Amino acid sequence: MTRRGRLFELPTSAPLTTATGGSAWPHLPTPTVADAYRGPDYAKRGRPGSGGDDLTTAICRLFPRDKAEKLFKTPTANLANNGSAQHPDKRKAGGHGPTLEDEVCFLLNVGPDDERPDDGPHSPAEWWGDFARAVYRWECIRGTAAPIPIVRGPRGGLKLAPKFAEWLMGLEPGWVTDVPGLSHREQIGRIGNGVVPHQAFYAFRWLMQHETHTEESNGQDTPH
């Protein structure tokens, strides 16, 4: 560069480095196509010539499962035919994973006779224990407070409330539970056999976009 007819050397910038010569700020790996088709590979870092963690593995190291928000199990149709709920620890001891009914009957701080205060789009946070953050987020998305998750069965035992399963699946209030003549068992069975409308919408939209892109790439007319 010149200034008033005199030549000056351009200043050079030196990256910040640590004492070992590496960058002072760690960087995430570059995304690759393979990241869309594989899970984390925690052993890759130690394999010679592997180049270290891929992006998927690096992200999973930043957000390990034991620090993730705790989510409820998905309602399933077989809940309509299961026996009584069991404590998740007892279920695991028998070699099985807990069900949604196990979780709501044994891990929450709410009873079937509690009343939900009608003071906005959120239910009491103290009801939900470790599930509170996930419930709050879904309430924000739905714009509807979570209903009481348990009801009393004919013999006084605790059971999964169909209205809670309905809310958890993203269905409009009463979509299943207000249908005349459906028993508790039938309501749970229909809800468990359904899909989350939000997921179905995005899945169909992706398929339509993918089909349109494929047809355009092949030189075909796009259907209207």
Q: pLDDT tens-digit profile of 44-98?
A: 888 888 888 888 888 878 766 666 678 999 999 999 888 889 999 999 998 888 9
Does residue 165 form part of some domain? yes
For the beta carbon of residue 100, count every other beta carbon within 10 angstroms. 21
What's residue 31's pLDDT?
87
The domain of 180 spans 77-198
Distance CA 142, CA 122 (A): 10
Does residue 70 form part of some domain? no
Q: Where are the alpha helices (DSSP H) in the chain?
A: 55-62, 88-93, 100-106, 132-142, 162-168, 184-193, 197-217
| 110-138: average pLDDT | 89
Does residue 46 form part of some domain? no
Does residue 14 form part of some domain? no
Q: Which residues, in sequence order, are bridge partners of residue 2?
A: 7
Does residue 24 form part of some domain? no
Does residue 119 form part of some domain? yes
Contacts within 8 Å (CB) and 24+ apart, 53-60: 53/29, 54/29, 55/28, 55/29, 55/30, 55/31, 58/28, 58/29, 59/28
Averaged confidence pLDDT in the chain:
83
More confident residue, 165 or 206: 165
Which residue is listed with tokens 């949604």? 100
Does residue 93 form part of some domain? yes
